[in-house]
Amino acid sequence: MAFTGKRILIGVSGGIAAYKAAELARRLVSGGARVKVVMTRAAQEFVTPLTFQALTGEKAATAMFGPGSEPLEHIALGQEVDAIVLAPATANLMGKMAAGIGDDLLTTILLASTKPILICPAMNCEMWANPAVQDNVVKLRDRGLEVLHPEAGELACGAIGYGRLPEVETILEALAQLLSPQDLAGRRILVTAGPTHEDLDPVRFLTNRSSGKQGYALAKVARRRGAEVCLISGPSHLPAPHGVERLEVRTAREMLDAVLARFPESEALLMAAAVGDYHPTSRSEHKMKRGSPELTVHLTQNPDILKEVAALKKKQVVVGFAAETRDLEAAARKKLEDKGLDLIVANQVNRPDSGFAVDTNEVTIIGRKNLLLPLPLLSKEEVAEKVLDQVAALLPPPR
Ligand code: C5P
């Protein structure tokens, strides 16, 4: 998991969105992080330190001086952590940071810390648009701090516009990126995911059990490691990963067109989609009626996307996936050769905790030059990390 063993400081300043920091703290803790919360005085008007103590198991720090405060906490706290996330960050907090003011525990910690800082603003939309606030945002970004854009919507004050705290999911992903090595920075990676739908008639189609989870995890982790990711997805209920361009397709032939269009500009293709091998030879214009006890459907083979694309490859790294129910390694090796791939990720799909629709996967990564890397049962994000490690090793140096 992205946060396992990480030490995160959440700075909470005084806006109505302060209550959402509780959910952020909970999600980080359940993701394996140790979380310390530091609250400004105004933040405590909206939510109590006890809330955070209950969620994180650590006392929330609230003041530089007085009962409960530790000497030199303002230096130590910001240095002990792996990253700092300010959520919500008020206009006031950003103003103080931009001006270098340290007049309470949180702002002093920020001055004394050299760790990565993620700023998640939340405020009234007119405040956000105020030139002084915008100038401060530019200043903070110029200093290398990451400032997320607030989201649009109805604000607590009733106004509608940009000012909402970014979704917790967005904050978590931005933080995961801040904590990840950027070894794929700027690399253009094409990922396919999900099943395909091959229509029989206007209401029925042939498909398979793929959920898209492994492909979406690859796209998410590649983005986290700095890549520019295009995700070509068959029908899936999963949300598009933060910062990833998603192109939606239904059929294998639509997927082929999309992959062909994007492959030339890509540096790697990870073909995790479970592409249907056949489509009904003719699609009935109207819903087929229940008729004779037996029905014969004629099928025509779909293009082998990987094979077609691999034949066009110049310097790209091309990765296939082999879902197998028997003779895993031999079948995968044959596909590696037949399809002209650089790597193949073989996975057993006849056990309940690996393969389609579940969150874990047990795979073996096979490559040319005798690469054989059997992996234990891992989360699909962890599998994505391992696959991308191999891709990173094969990519030619950036141009
Ligand atoms: O031959 P098989 O379908 O098992 O190969 C699996 C690999 O080939 C996967 O990476 C899948 O995305 C890709 N594939 C393809 N076009 C097809 C079928 C599979 O690119 N028509």
Average pLDDT over residues 390-396: 96
pLDDT band at 369, cuts 50/70/90?
confident
CB 75: neighbour CB atoms within 10 A? 14
User: What whole-number distance in Å separates Cα of residue 141 and Cα of residue 187?
Assistant: 23
Q: Which helix (H) or strand (E) holds 109?
A: helix 105-112
Structure tokens at 91: 């206009």
Q: Which residues line ligand 1 (CB under 6 A)?
A: 252, 271, 273, 275, 277, 302, 304-306, 320-322, 335
The rounded percent of the chain whose pLDDT value lies above 70 is: 99
What are the chain's domains? 7-179 (3.40.50.1950), 188-394 (3.40.50.10300)
Segment 361-387 mean pLDDT: 94
Question: pLDDT value at position 73?
Answer: 79
Q: Which residues contact 8 (CB under 8 A, 6 or more apart)?
A: 28, 33, 34, 35, 36, 81, 82, 83, 84, 85, 175
Residue 276 CA to ligand 1 center (angstroms) comes to: 8
Cα–Cα distance, 48 to 306 (Å, whole number): 55
The answer, yes or no, to whether residue 286 has pLDDT greater than 70, is: yes
- CB-based contact 334:316 (threshold 8 Å): no
The model carries a pTM of 0.88
Lowest-confidence pick of 111-115, 338-342, 356-360: 356-360
Residue 214 CA, ligand 1 centroid: distance in Å: 15
Mutual orientation of helices 105-112 and 73-80 as an angle, nearest 10°? 60
CA-nearest residue for atom 5, ligand 1, is: 322
**Model confidence at 48: pLDDT above 80:** yes
- Ligand 1 pocket: which of 306, 319, 336 to mutate (most atoms within 8 A of CB): 306
The CA distance from 264 to 287, in Å, is 39
Structure tokens at 171: 């904050």
Q: What is the pLDDT of residue 1?
A: 62
Distance CA 375, CA 364 (A): 6
Q: Is the pLDDT of residue 325 over 90?
A: no
Q: What is the pLDDT of residue 54?
A: 98
Q: Is 157 a catalytic residue?
A: yes
Q: pLDDT tens-digit profile of 213-235?
A: 999 999 999 999 999 999 999 99
Q: What is the pLDDT of residue 295?
A: 92
Q: From ligand 1's centre to the CA of 160, what distance in Å?
A: 47
pLDDT classification of 354: cutoffs 50, 70, 90:
confident
| Burial grade of 371 (CB within 10 A; 0-12, 13-18, 19 or more) | middle
Dump the DSSP string for 334-369: HHHHHHT-SEEEEEE-SSTTSSTTSSEE-EEEEEST
Separation of 136 CA from ligand 1 center, angstroms? 50
> How many CB atoms neighbour CB 160 within 10 A?
11
Give the Cα separation of 44 and 65 in Å (integer).
Answer: 16
Helix (H) or strand (E) holding 50: helix 49-56
- The 10s digit of each residue's pLDDT in 74-102 is 788 999 999 999 999 999 999 999 999 99
Q: What number of other Cβ atoms are within 10 A of residue 311's Cβ? A: 10
Closest approach atom of ligand 1 to CA 302: 21
| Mutation pick for ligand 1 pocket among 275, 305, 307 (CB with most ligand atoms within 8 Å) | 275
Structure tokens at 131: 């030139």
pLDDT value for 158 = 84
Kindly give the residue spans of alpha helices, DSSP state H, lying in 145-286: 168-179, 213-224, 252-262
Residues 6+ apart with CB under 8 A from 14: 40, 41, 42, 43, 44, 45, 46, 90, 92
- What token pair was written down for 100? 């270098």
Residue 355 has pLDDT above 90, yes or no: no
Query: Contact, 298 vs 282, CB < 8 A?
Result: yes
The residues, any chain, with a CB within 8 Å of residue 137's CB and separated by 6 or more, are 94, 121, 147
Q: Which H or E run includes 238?
A: none
* Gyration radius of the chain's alpha carbons: 25
**Band of residue 67 on the pLDDT scale cut at 50, 70, 90:** confident
Atom of ligand 1 nearest to the CA of 324: 4
- Over residues 156-172, mean pLDDT: 91
For 347-369, letters b (16+ CB in 10 Å) and e give bbbeeeebbbebebbbbbbbbee
Asked if 91 and 57 touch (Cβ cutoff 8 Å), the reply is no
For residues 392 and 184, the answer to whether their CB atoms sit within 8 Å is: yes
| CB neighbour list of residue 18: distance below 8 Å, 6 or more residues apart | 12, 39, 43, 46, 47, 88
pLDDT tens digit string along 187-210?
Answer: 999 999 999 999 999 999 999 999
List pLDDT tens digits, range 227-263.
999 999 999 999 999 899 999 999 999 999 999 999 9
Write down the residue that tokens 């996967």 correspond to. 361
Ligand 1 atom closest to the CA of 308, numbered from 1: 20
Which candidate in 120, 125, 157, 230 is catalytic? 157
The CA 2 to ligand 1 mean position distance, Å, reads 29
- Mean residue pLDDT of the chain comes to 94
Q: What pLDDT is recorded for position 304?
A: 96
Task: Looking at the CA of residue 303, tell me the nearest atom of ligand 1.
Answer: 21
